[in-house]
Structure 1
Amino acid sequence: MNNQRNLFLAVVLCGLLLFGWEAGMKWFYPAPAVPAKEKVETSAAPAPGDEPAKIKRTREGGLTDPAAEALEQRDLATVLKSPQRVRIAAPEIAGSIDLVGARIDDLTLTTHRQTVEKNSGPVRLFSPSGTPAQHFAQFGWIGTGVKVPDGNTVWQATGGPLAPGKPVMLTWDNGQGQRFGIEFTIDDKYLITAKQTVANLAPGAVVVRPYAVINRTSATASLDQWTIHSGPVGYFGTGVDFGTDYDDIAEAGRITPEGKAGWIGFTDIYWLSALVPQSNAEVDADFRGLGKDLFRADVIYDPLTVTTGRQIARTTQLFAGAKESAVLSSYAENGITGFDNAIDWGWFGIIEKPILWLLRTLYGLVGNFGLAIILLTLIVRGAMFPIAQKQFASMAAMRAVQPKMKAIQERYKDDKPRQQQEIMALYKTEGVNPLAGCLPILLQIPIFFGLYKVLMLAIDMRHKPFALWIRDLSAPDPAHILNLFGLLPFTPPSFLAIGVLAVLLGITMWATFRLNPQAMDPIQQQMFSIMPWVLMFVMAPFAAGLLIYWITSNILTLAQQKYLYSKHPQLRAQADKDKTNRERAAARDAKAKG
């Protein structure tokens, strides 16, 4: 009766794990809510009566409302036709600079597609002010007793298009003896440098504060999860801060992180826009909420006094591009402090970075990240093979002492503390370690989680195919059984989105459990029989690459167990005996019921 009750409880708990996983994750780690309206004056702020609309976020971000997407396309078609623009034509980014307001508000990433479809077009990172996907950078000045350019100022451009080795100079004369200039240069990746100058030709000194801002809507932000940060980010003091989200800024109105700002901006899962202030200058760096899902990252330099006949300058760098770890590391080596940590690797970065390096190396050899993941699994399991041998030796020793254990359990069945003491003494006498079998699993946990983070964060994996229907290893298996592999016009909820890879995972895990010596406890036996199918449901929404790793690992485990059984025949004999006993018990139960 107790066994039946325990089995019932185990099934209930498995069901809660299966069907409550998604709801539980949303409860404990909710997606960012729609930020509250803030009363901060800005030219891009909404009308006072506007109310925020509910935002549906996706893993990669971007607009999800069809009406907003259509409006974005119409706005871009109109705004980008303006003749008051200077083209950007760099190897990795393309777009234009708006001469009205000196805004960099039109950027696409030429080497990254929007979707897995080859004709989907490049990823758009920046969009002009007022568009549904508003996201831009602007450079200007705050003046005291001096006329400074603003968002409506029309600048004069010299040079263009902006490309490596081909700078663009913007100039504006305020008619009062001060000339303002912004010189833009760009490298062959994602870094734009803006040198802001003020020349004073009038009698008497003027005081100005150069500034740079990134202005964006959170409506296009990627999903902010408990393991992957999306939102405000920056290097302050001695490390990168991933602890602030859009809700925090919307609630506070303004947040000024503690410590000197190395850089500040906004991150999505794959993309980053960040300002890098001049290293030897004093700046105020903060985040501001502008209302209705609009936010701003500011870099405002300390006041500068420009005397007659002098010119002063401040240089700010703008990173706007993909979070390619090798590119970020190269920028860090060249002076942008902590930029290699702009990817939210978390606590397991010490494992994740070597895994990514190894996957890249293997990819360079085989040209397919799916094959690289399989080779990675072979390397990991090969490295742990000596541990597996010790595990099987321990299992053999455990089998050898089982008759003595049963005798102790029978002798002290009414004295559980004494029973445990005698069993531990038996382990010590026989040199048996009951936990040895757990070691390979414990060692694989950080590797498994590290690969999960690599697949989620490394843009190297984005849109990388494996074979057949697996066209993106960083996304879940798209072949869902419930909708007949796409023949039926609906998408199953994530906890029922069982694909071919999930089924293979369940089958291979079931097979590995069947090869293991059967547990003595009937409840453990029943749990092991249920667990493969529970994990099949739990793992189905995860990245296809992760399931490929686990399936490969299970297949290698089967081969490894076959080999080690040949080295430990007593385990094989016991496994066969357990199988025979199970079959006889099942036959007796069937006969009794019949």
Structure 2
Amino acid sequence: MGDQNKNLILATVLSFVVILVWFLLFPPPEQTAPAPGAEAVELAPAPQAGVAGGPATTNADLANTASDVQTTIEAPRVSIDTQRLAGSISLTGGRVDELFLKDFRATLDEGSDIVQILFPVGSESPYYAFYGWAPGAGLGIDDVPGPNTAWQVEGNATLTEMAPVTLRWDSPAGMIFRRTMSVDEDFMFSVTQTVENTSGSTIALAPYGVIARHGEPKDGKKFFVLHEGLVGMADGQLTEDDYGNMADYSIIASEGAHAEVKQVNEAGWIGFTDHYWMSTLIPNTGEAFKSVAKYDETRDIYQAETVLPTQTLAAGQTASSTTRLFAGAKEWETIREYQNEGGVDRFIDSIDWGWFFFLTKPIFAVLHWLNKALIGLGVPGSMGWSIIGLTLLIKALLFPLAYKSYVSMAKMKELQPQMEKIKERTGDDRAKLQQEMMALYKKEKVNPASGCLPIILQIPIFFSLYKVIFVTMELRHAPWIGWIHDLSAPDPTSILNLFGLLPYAVPDLGPLQLLSLGIMPILLGISMYLQQKLNPAPADPTQKMIFAWMPWIFMFMLGSFASGLVLYWIANNTITFTQQYLIMRSQGYKPDVLGNIFGGKKDKAAAKK
């Protein structure tokens, strides 16, 4: 491997180390919890109906006076009770504002609370969805249902997979509004809004849906590898805006409020995504609508809205509109089914696949398939074994390149005594050193750069797998063996209490937590050290020293990373060591790894079969 190639790899590795050190010593600031909601909280403007028959929202419409959203903690409620969901719908505004996910716990602790993703106004972090009709010609704001309308229940009072719920409101103008909500066996709600025009005159109005979030999420990660905030799809174009970016929207919706409006012609959706959870408004495919993202900095409220075209009703006519609301966990298989079977355009892109999406998507698909296969065989800790299986598949795909690299390394090892003689003979004359080295490589038919490509290819694969393990729902709280109860979390053992042998817990050391090494990071360092011993040592003393320290630097740097990622690297190093050792022996070189480690034999190139 030539000096330029070594410098390239060294620069890449050192850059990676610098990034790790920066984010470990200077982590993103923790978000402070927003203040509890007041008795009445102002909401950013509700949409207004536009020209009859056309799209509903214009820039001027966004500047209307805000409505007051009343506290709904004590409001009358309709229960939600399915196999996977629990919660309630407030009859004040008909808001879906209390939702729990029965399958997920907040932590691994016994008795931990189930995860709650939607919260009513008046709670610490209000986050909810509501629907309504924007008034057009012939109507005032009090003639249509809004976020504080007092709905009544018609019939069934508990929403289940088998039993929808219908709400009714009779307006002062003599119109009858109904809202029928149903939910499937997972996380998808269907909301049908109906209006009967019994007013005796022609009216115009537009149906809309809103997801509102008061303040940023208190448990937001704010980590460079994860997107949290607005997410949407508009005719095939994905939008991912952090909460901070929403304050820079160009349209002035009202005093202190900014918005971004997109016309969606064929298919789209919009909502907010957290690390593992998401809420999304989904109009029907083929139905045009306005997609609106809005931030009111005066009230610190973020909104995602869908505003459908205005409908004109003559006296006695009835109109309806059906849209969907996804509120739940970002399970790959569930979201993929909504995309492929439910027609939600490119819904799988709501998962944050990152820049290397062309790698992260297939990597996770294979990982998921392996996990399901092992679960079907009754293998405990299936996700951990799936990571090892994925590593084997990746190494098999890269084997042709790796074979050439290992053969070259074996020949380089054999040439080291001659290279040392050339170095002694040329002294400080680097030009002559390079000239004689290249002549030696040409004579022995060795390509010193052949070992670089497999290493370079490992870099995007490593980052892609890191992304997959960090963002996907399926790795959350996934156990493996023994002490590894969560592959998305760091190794819980610590050298500071002899890996649990001493009867005390290790305190939180803050930025120095990386010193509290667990078993898996130590195994990583050892595996990386052994694998490195098979490679030819750099001729440059500085490079040689840096490469010698690299396994131990990575051991500390990755000590606070997800156990699943560390497991991948251990498996990768172990397979690489085995492949390289066997291939080098097949080329007539017998690596003396133990001799190198314990100082017995020096690395000699003359050992032949």
TM-score range (shorter-chain normalised) is 0.7 to 0.9
Aligned residues: 536
Give the gaps of 5 or more residues in structure 2: 1-6, 45-70, 250-256, 604-609
Q: Is the Cα contact below 8 Å between 1:35 and 1:251 reproduced in 2?
A: no
Q: Which residue of 2 aligns with 1:256?
A: 260
Displacement of 1:542 in angstroms is 0.9
Q: Which residue of 1 aligns with 2:477?
A: 463
Q: Which residue of 1 aligns with 2:22?
A: 21
Equivalent in 319, 327, 332 of residue 326 of structure 2? 319
- Cα distance change on mapping 1:455 and 1:219 into 2, 3 Å: same
Q: Where do residues 508-519 of structure 1 align in structure 2 (5 Å cutoff)?
A: 508-519=527-538
1:398-434 CA-partner distances (Å, limit 9, x unpaired):
2444466556656665664465355435434432111
TM-score (norm 1): 0.81
Equivalent in 337, 343, 358 of residue 366 of structure 2? 358
Q: Which residue of 2 aligns with 1:388?
A: 402
Amino acid at match of 1:455: I
Write the distance in 2 (CA, Å) between the matches of 1:280 and 1:510: 58
1:32-66 CA-partner distances (Å, limit 9, x unpaired):
988999xxxx953499xxxxxxxxxxxxxxxxxxx
The structure whose residues are more often helix, as a share, is 1
- Cα distance change on mapping 1:521 and 1:186 into 2, 3 Å: same
* Matched-pair identity in %: 38
Amino acid at match of 1:341: D
Aligned pair 1:491/2:508, yes or no? yes
Displacement of 1:182 in angstroms is 0.9
Write the distance in 1 (CA, Å) between the matches of 2:493 and 2:578: 28
- Cα distance change on mapping 1:403 and 1:114 into 2, 3 Å: closer
Aligned pair 1:149/2:145, yes or no? yes
- Cα distance change on mapping 1:406 and 1:499 into 2, 3 Å: closer
Displacement of 1:529 in angstroms is 1.6
SS in 1 for 2:159: coil
Q: Is the Cα contact below 8 Å between 1:133 and 1:219 reproduced in 2?
A: yes
Q: Is the Cα contact below 8 Å between 1:208 and 1:303 reproduced in 2?
A: yes
Write the distance in 2 (CA, Å) between the matches of 1:573 and 1:359: 36
SS in 1 for 2:227: coil
- Cα distance change on mapping 1:338 and 1:478 into 2, 3 Å: same
SS in 1 for 2:100: strand
Q: Where do residues 320-359 of structure 1 align in structure 2 (5 Å cutoff)?
A: 320-333=327-340, 334-359=342-367
Amino acid at match of 1:317: R
Equivalent in 403, 425, 434 of residue 420 of structure 1? 434
Displacement of 1:342 in angstroms is 0.6
Q: Is the Cα contact below 8 Å between 2:72 and 2:122 reproduced in 1?
A: no
SS in 2 for 1:570: coil
Write the distance in 1 (CA, Å) between the matches of 2:583 and 2:394: 18
Q: Which residue of 1 aligns with 2:92?
A: 100
TM-score (norm 2): 0.79
The alignment's C-alpha RMSD in Å is 3.5
Aligned pair 1:572/2:570, yes or no? no
Q: Which residue of 1 aligns with 2:279?
A: 273
SS in 2 for 1:470: coil
1:516-543 CA-partner distances (Å, limit 9, x unpaired):
3433332232112211111111111110
1:122-158 CA-partner distances (Å, limit 9, x unpaired):
2101111121121110011222434122333211112
- Cα distance change on mapping 1:89 and 1:135 into 2, 3 Å: same
Q: Is the Cα contact below 8 Å between 1:517 and 1:571 reproduced in 2?
A: no
- Cα distance change on mapping 1:132 and 1:177 into 2, 3 Å: same
Displacement of 1:387 in angstroms is 3.8
Amino acid at match of 1:492: L
SS in 2 for 1:374: helix
SS in 2 for 1:107: strand
Displacement of 1:14 in angstroms is 10
The more displaced of 551-560 and 309-318 is: 551-560
- Cα distance change on mapping 1:294 and 1:14 into 2, 3 Å: closer
Q: Which residue of 2 aligns with 1:110?
A: 102
Write the distance in 2 (CA, Å) between the matches of 1:259 and 1:423: 64
Q: Is the Cα contact below 8 Å between 2:412 and 2:536 reproduced in 1?
A: no
